[in-house]
């Protein structure tokens, strides 16, 4: 830990960056994001298994951009999001300093986005078995039962949009759900509005989601919305090969192959 | 009780399927009258949210149709559309929205017979499936319940 | 009226629940969902959980639902028919298992809907709500009810307050005439006056700040770095406002389908950038810092200036649910 603090302090000291985005102590046993702008504040940086919030979400936020160039503490899920943001031209290498960190708290330097991609080839996104089992179980339900399952799950959604706020890839300044002229989908929170919102959210993340589970962790009602994006990751793999961001590949839905296979178009 | 007549919305591209449907008409081929056609510049322009809106407004089935691969007026619109439908179909299936209610097809400007066949077979499928009551229940929530 | 004390045996609680259900009441009670407890429409007594400090969602949903129909219309060639939702029949709801903070929240919430305009729909719903609260025997680091004129055994807002006694039975404090009526209708379940000491059974919730001092301080804190500092991690979602039992901001949405449609009142949150965005593109609350300031000032300065009580009951839901762990106590104690 002292190494992370030392490094962060040195970056601020040398004025290479103006802010260090990292994890600090939160309420009770929780951790929270800290934005260290002074060398002395770096003392508060911590890193352990409780640090699960995806900090990449702050790279595109107006309020944080105003602070100046950031260094960001980046465990694997954050690295994936950074790479995806790079693929989507939302950040450039000179915009930030990446303080890569392994689950064993070892620091890794990344000189370029390409270096992140190389590193991630040994840290591929893997959908845990407990999730594949749940997804399989849901898909095995008769169609009407499956629909009823989701309507019930989404019933407690009140559209606070914490899922959207916590997602590093939901960086649009104006979300489609907030448009009401025309109203694309129901803005109100009722069964139809909730269903449409979660379909829209998942579709807009299709082939982009890096499976960090920030949406699920943020949901105050504990709705398993990450199952939708996980199921779509499987679909990406089944239909278009591998998933996960790559600098020399465009997003799944921004690209195509003339010989893409399907079995349902007549 | 009158027999159930499926309400079907067809989203078609201007260059191939719309012209194909025109040919069906000029060739005097009879086909089911349950379809309301909405013309788009390209299948690449057909947003998935329009399909959701159709179900939300009471459609029992949907047809999405455009140019065959390699025939797109804009070169690649249908290729993009194809990827989108693959992902969208998977998501709907996960959510339990009946994917049998959406028929995707490639119908060229020369395929008047094929268009009639697509419409007829879709109408038959939806007739067998019956009205989409599960979705209607969700969509008509505000009207049926006094209030939440 | 003066509070009257009774004793109710543990098995009688279930009987009371079943009697209420049998009498056609809709009961909202805490139901477990994963690690959370959520106020849900409950039909079976065994579905109720007792393992919660407070529920994740707030009880306001029974008087101020997330989406409320205000009216519907139907146009035909001859005329336009409008059905005002104020004329609908609203359900008789029993809120079972509210905490004293939840019950206390109904006071500022009712105030808000009874300012210059008396909200008919809200008041219709409120009149039909019966609150059966349960005192808190546990609290956590997020609770601060005692700092905002409430407490783990506070009776305000409730019709009946149950406090679990060491033997497993419950002390029943009957607070309102409505509560008294329920007791007389179920007199076989309530035993006469208990002499039990309630205080021993209650959780200890330390006083974290003085509300009057906070209110005085806030008068001069409009321009202050604390707002940006404490809200830096804010993700701009509405979870704090949506779980808050007092927050009452709403947005009006029209949903039109051909020749018919409905006008809806939907929850809104000052945490959203769109909340104050003008048509011109100008936004008077440009940053999350300005939005966080609004939230604090509204609850601890504007509301108390107007109606003497705070717009906060210290339940701590906002801090618990915040995905970025922004803690309202942190801000209040650092002023």
Domain span at A202: 129-254
Closest CA–CA distance from residue C222 to any residue of chain A (Å) = 18
Closest CA–CA distance from residue A64 to any residue of chain B (Å) = 33
User: Residue C39 and residue C42: Cα distance in Å, rounded?
Assistant: 9
| Same-domain status, A66 and A133 | no
Determine the 3-state secondary structure of C149 from DSSP: coil
pLDDT band at A182 (very low <50, low <70, confident <90, very high): confident
Which has the closest alpha carbon to B110: B20, B48, B35, B10?
B20
User: Residue C317 and residue C239: Cα distance in Å, rounded?
Assistant: 9
DSSP codes, C142-197: T--GGGGT--TT--TT-SEEEEE-TTS-EEEEE-SHHHHHHHHHTTTTEES-----
Which has the closest alpha carbon to A201: A235, A228, A231, A174?
A228
Query: Could you tell me the sign of the dihedral formed by the alpha carbons of A227, A229, A234, A238, in that order?
Result: positive
pLDDT along chain C (335 residues), means of 10: 89 96 96 95 97 97 96 94 92 97 96 94 97 97 95 96 93 96 94 83 95 95 96 96 97 90 95 94 95 97 92 97 97 94
> Which run of H or of E encompasses B137?
helix B133-139
pLDDT along chain B (148 residues), means of 10: 88 97 96 96 95 94 97 96 97 97 97 97 96 91 54
Domain boundary among A73, A90, A120: A120
Partners of A164 on chain C (C-beta within 8 Å) are 237
Edge-to-edge strands of the sheet including B102-106? B35-40, B8-13, B61-66, B102-106
pLDDT in the model for residue B1 = 55
| Same-domain status, A12 and A90 | yes
pLDDT band at A127 (very low <50, low <70, confident <90, very high): very high
CA dist C24 → C12, C91, C92, C94 (Å): 19, 9, 8, 10
B82 with A261: CB under 8 angstroms? Answer: no
Domain boundary among A100, A120, A140: A120
> Does some domain include residue A196?
yes
Of C66, C258, C262, the CB nearest to B142: C262
| Same-domain status, A33 and A8 | yes
What is the residue extent of each domain of chain B?
A: 8-144
Closest CA–CA distance from residue A82 to any residue of chain C (Å) = 17
pLDDT in the model for residue B143 = 63
Partners of C262 on chain B (C-beta within 8 Å) are 142-143
| Same-domain status, A8 and A76 | yes
| Same-domain status, A68 and A184 | no
Of C67, C89, C257, the CB nearest to B148: C67
Structure token digits, residue C282: 């100008």
User: For C31, what's the count of Cα atoms within 13 Å in the CB-facing half-sphere?
Assistant: 15
- Cβ neighbours around A76 below 10 Å, total: 18
> Does some domain include residue A264?
no
Q: Which chains touch C (3 or more CB pairs under 8 A)?
A: A, B
Most C-contacting residue of A19, A63, A167 (CB-CB within 10 A), to test interface? A63
B142/C66 touch (CB, cutoff 8 Å), yes or no:
no
pLDDT in the model for residue B93 = 97
User: For B145, what's the count of Cα atoms within 13 Å in the CB-facing half-sphere?
Assistant: 16
Partners of C68 on chain B (C-beta within 8 Å) are 147-148
Pairing of strands C170-174, C4-8: antiparallel
Domain boundary among A120, A147, A172: A120
A235 with B90: CB under 8 angstroms? Answer: yes
Q: Could you read off the pLDDT of A4-62 as tens digits, one per residue? A: 999 999 999 999 999 999 999 999 999 999 999 999 999 999 999 999 999 999 999 99
B148/C66 touch (CB, cutoff 8 Å), yes or no:
yes
- Cβ neighbours around A77 below 10 Å, total: 21
Q: Could you read off the pLDDT of C278-298 as tens digits, one per residue? A: 999 999 999 999 999 999 999
A147/B84 touch (CB, cutoff 8 Å), yes or no:
no
Determine the 3-state secondary structure of A46 from DSSP: strand
| Same-domain status, A249 and A139 | yes
Enumerate the β-bridge partners of residue C40.
C29
Enumerate the β-bridge partners of residue B66.
B106
User: Residue A96 and residue C332: Cα distance in Å, rounded?
Assistant: 33
- Cβ neighbours around C32 below 10 Å, total: 15
Closest CA–CA distance from residue C130 to any residue of chain A (Å) = 22
pLDDT in the model for residue B148 = 40
pLDDT in the model for residue B144 = 56
CATH 3.40.50 fits B8-144, yes or no: yes
| Same-domain status, A58 and A77 | yes
| Same-domain status, A104 and A135 | no
Main-chain phi, psi angles of C226, to 5 degrees: -60, -35
Prediction pTM value: 0.95
Q: Which chains touch A (3 or more CB pairs under 8 A)?
A: B, C
């Amino acid at each position: 830990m002292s190494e992370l603090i030392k490094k962060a302090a040195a970056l601020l000291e040398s004025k290479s960056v103006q802010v260090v985005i990292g994890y600090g102590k939160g309420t009770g046993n929780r951790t929270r994001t800290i934005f260290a702008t002074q060398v002395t504040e770096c003392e508060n940086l911590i890193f352990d298994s409780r640090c699960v919030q995806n900090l990449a979400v702050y790279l595109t936020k107006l309020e944080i951009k105003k602070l100046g160039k950031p260094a960001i503490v980046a465990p694997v899920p954050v690295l994936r999001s950074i790479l995806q943001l790079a693929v989507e031209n939302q950040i450039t290498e000179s915009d930030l300093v990446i303080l890569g960190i392994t689950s064993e708290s070892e620091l890794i330097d990344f000189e370029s986005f390409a270096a992140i991609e190389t590193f991630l080839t040994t840290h591929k996104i893997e959908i845990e078995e407990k999730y594949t089992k749940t997804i399989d179980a849901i898909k095995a339900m008769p169609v009407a039962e499956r629909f009823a399952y989701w309507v019930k799950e989404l019933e407690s959604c009140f559209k606070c949009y914490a899922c959207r706020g916590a997602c590093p890839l939901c960086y649009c300044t104006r979300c489609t759900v907030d448009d009401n002229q025309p109203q694309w989908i129901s803005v109100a929170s009722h069964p139809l509005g909730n269903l449409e919102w979660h379909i829209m959210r998942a579709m807009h993340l299709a082939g982009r989601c890096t499976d960090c589970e920030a949406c699920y962790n943020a949901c105050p009602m504990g709705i398993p919305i990450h199952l939708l994006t996980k199921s779509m990751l499987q679909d990406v793999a089944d239909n278009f090969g591998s998933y996960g961001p790559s600098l020399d590949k465009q997003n799944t839905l921004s690209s195509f192959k003339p010989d893409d296979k399907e079995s349902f178009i007549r | 009780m009158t027999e159930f007549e499926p309400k079907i919305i067809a989203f078609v591209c201007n260059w191939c399927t719309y012209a194909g449907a025109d040919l069906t008409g000029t060739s005097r081929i009879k086909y089911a009258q349950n379809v309301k056609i909405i013309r788009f510049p390209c299948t690449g322009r057909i947003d998935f949210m329009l399909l959701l809106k159709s179900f939300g407004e009471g459609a029992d089935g949907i047809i999405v149709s455009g140019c065959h691969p390699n025939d797109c007026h804009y070169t690649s619109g249908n290729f993009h559309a194809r990827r989108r439908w693959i992902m969208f179909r998977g998501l709907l299936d996960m959510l339990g929205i009946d994917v049998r209610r959406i028929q995707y097809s490639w119908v060229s400007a020369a395929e008047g017979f094929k268009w009639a066949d697509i419409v007829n077979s879709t109408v038959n499928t939806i007739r067998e499936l019956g009205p989409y009551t599960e979705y209607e229940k969700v969509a008509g929530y505000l009207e049926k319940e006094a209030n939440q | 009226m003066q509070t009257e004390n009774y004793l109710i045996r543990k098995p009688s609680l279930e009987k009371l629940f079943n009697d209420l259900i049998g009498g056609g009441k809709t009961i909202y009670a805490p139901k477990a969902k994963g690690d959370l407890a959520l106020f849900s429409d409950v039909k079976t007594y065994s579905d109720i959980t007792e393992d919660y400090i407070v529920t994740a969602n707030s009880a306001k949903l029974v008087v101020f639902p997330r989406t409320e129909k205000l009216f519907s219309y139907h146009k035909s060639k001859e005329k336009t028919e409008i059905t005002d939702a104020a004329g609908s029949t609203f359900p008789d709801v029993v809120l079972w298992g509210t905490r004293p903070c939840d019950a206390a929240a109904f006071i500022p919430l009712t105030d808000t809907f009874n300012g210059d305009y008396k909200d008919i729909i809200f008041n219709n719903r409120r009149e039909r709500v019966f609150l059966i609260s349960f005192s808190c025997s546990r609290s956590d680091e997020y609770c601060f009810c005692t700092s905002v004129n409430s407490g783990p055994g506070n009776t305000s807002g409730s019709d009946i307050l149950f406090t679990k006694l060491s033997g497993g039975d419950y002390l029943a404090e009957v607070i309102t005439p409505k509560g008294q009526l329920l007791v007389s209708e179920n007199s076989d379940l309530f035993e006469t006056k208990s002499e039990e000491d309630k205080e021993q059974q209650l959780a200890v919730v330390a006083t974290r700040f003085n509300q009057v001092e906070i209110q005085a301080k806030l008068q001069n804190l409009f321009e202050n770095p604390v707002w940006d500092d404490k809200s830096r991690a804010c993700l701009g979602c509405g979870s704090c406002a949506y779980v808050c039992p007092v927050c009452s901001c709403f947005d009006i949405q029209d949903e039109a389908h051909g020749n018919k449609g409905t006008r809806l009142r939907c929850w809104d949150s000052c945490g959203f950038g769109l909340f104050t965005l003008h048509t011109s593109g100008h936004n008077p609350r440009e940053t999350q810092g300005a939005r966080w300031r609004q939230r604090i000032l509204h609850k601890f300065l504007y509301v108390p200036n107007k109606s003497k009580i705070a717009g906060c009951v210290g339940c701590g839901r906002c801090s618990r649910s915040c995905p970025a762990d922004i803690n309202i106590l942190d801000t209040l104690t650092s002023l």
